[in-house]
Chain A
Amino acid sequence: MAQDAEITTIEGLASPEGELHPLQAAFVERDALQCGYCTPGQICSAAAMLDEAAAGWPSAASASLTGPVTLDPAEIRERMSGNLCRCGAYVNILAAIADVYRETP
């Protein structure tokens, strides 16, 4: 089903020297986890979601299908929907992603 696909896991996001990916650093800074079970998926989804938004992909929360994408909180919630966190760290996950989005050139 995903034969020969290129896959980046959470282990592939940090630099080989061990410097955290901006999303990893933001999750630490914002305390965006409790047990950590969902964190690899949350961060990988966020990384892909930021790339998709930068490429202009709309979501169900977008005002326009063809306009530029601005990731407001509603957009981030919609695009991260499906990533479940039973600890309920959603508020801080949202803040961490918004931090990285704001700092992305």
Chain B
Amino acid sequence: VRPFGYLVPPDPAAAIAAVTGRPGAAFLAGGTNLVDLMKLGVAAPDLLVDVTGLLPGRIEPVPGGGLRIGAGVRNSDLGADPRVRAGFPVLAQAVLAGASGQLRNMATVGGNLLQRTRCLYFQDVTKPCNKRAPGSGCPARAGDHRNLAILGGSPQCVATHPVPGTPSSTRRTGPPTYGRCPRSSPGGRSDRSTRRRRWPCRACSP
């Protein structure tokens, strides 16, 4: 992780001012995607503007039977909300199928919509990736791409967006610990690029 500044602005105007004209600045909320990407070297912001306390954190009914979900609502609270569970069960199921409890406790709805693709090649700076480094190529087309686009891809990129509720995002992506490790089963992947991303079980412990 490269050195970076950290700022907690007092209000939205100050948050916007802090990033205006500063391309290296990034908003931070739950951090469950951005911080990962910083550790991986995919993102290297020079300033984090923590907007956790500024984001709307409520779920409110709106006319017509819908719900307005604040950008700062945590995934855990979204999946547990009785109105979501009763009226929008697919959304609750999608959220509960993603990551682990600790991640859902931190992750925000706004961050979910704004997170970057989970394409393994995008997340691996030792690999080419047209999305991360335009013109460098797309190894995913011939590589590990079972989470990636079937429809809507292009010769340049087959990355998908991992918003909860989309088919590619509802598959569990967290490390299997109490469950079965995919690599311990027949046909489990052992591609070098995925080894780092799947937590070792007894069968594949390094």
Partner of A82, one of B8, B31, B92, B174: B174
For window 61-87 of chain A, which residues contact chain B by CB distance below 8 Å? 62, 65-66, 77-85
Q: Using known A-B contacts A1-B106, A58-B79, A77-B179, determine if residue A82 contacts B28 with beta carbons closer than 8 Å.
A: no
A3 touches B101 (CB 8 A): no
B28 touches A58 (CB 8 A): no
- How far in angstroms is the closest Cβ of chain A from B51? 10
Query: Could you tell me how many residues of chain A have their Cβ less than 8 Å away from some Cβ of chain B?
Result: 27
Query: Could you tell me how many residues of chain B have their Cβ less than 8 Å away from some Cβ of chain A?
Result: 34
* A77 vs B29: C-alpha distance when bound (angstroms): 28
For residue A59, CB closer than 8 A to chain B, the reply is yes
- How far in angstroms is the closest Cβ of chain A from B48? 10
B85 touches A82 (CB 8 A): no
For residue B144, CB closer than 8 A to chain A, the reply is no
For residue A52, CB closer than 8 A to chain B, the reply is yes
For residue A45, CB closer than 8 A to chain B, the reply is yes
* A102 vs B89: C-alpha distance when bound (angstroms): 29
* A65 vs B178: C-alpha distance when bound (angstroms): 22
Q: List 22 A-B contacts (CB under 8 A).
A: A1-B29, A3-B53, A58-B79, A58-B85, A59-B96, A60-B96, A60-B172, A62-B96, A65-B92, A65-B93, A77-B179, A79-B101, A81-B101, A81-B177, A82-B99, A82-B100, A83-B100, A83-B102, A83-B177, A90-B177, A90-B178, A94-B178
Show the binding face of A for B, using Cβ within 8 Å. 1-3, 45, 48-49, 52, 55, 57-60, 62, 65-66, 77-85, 88, 90, 94
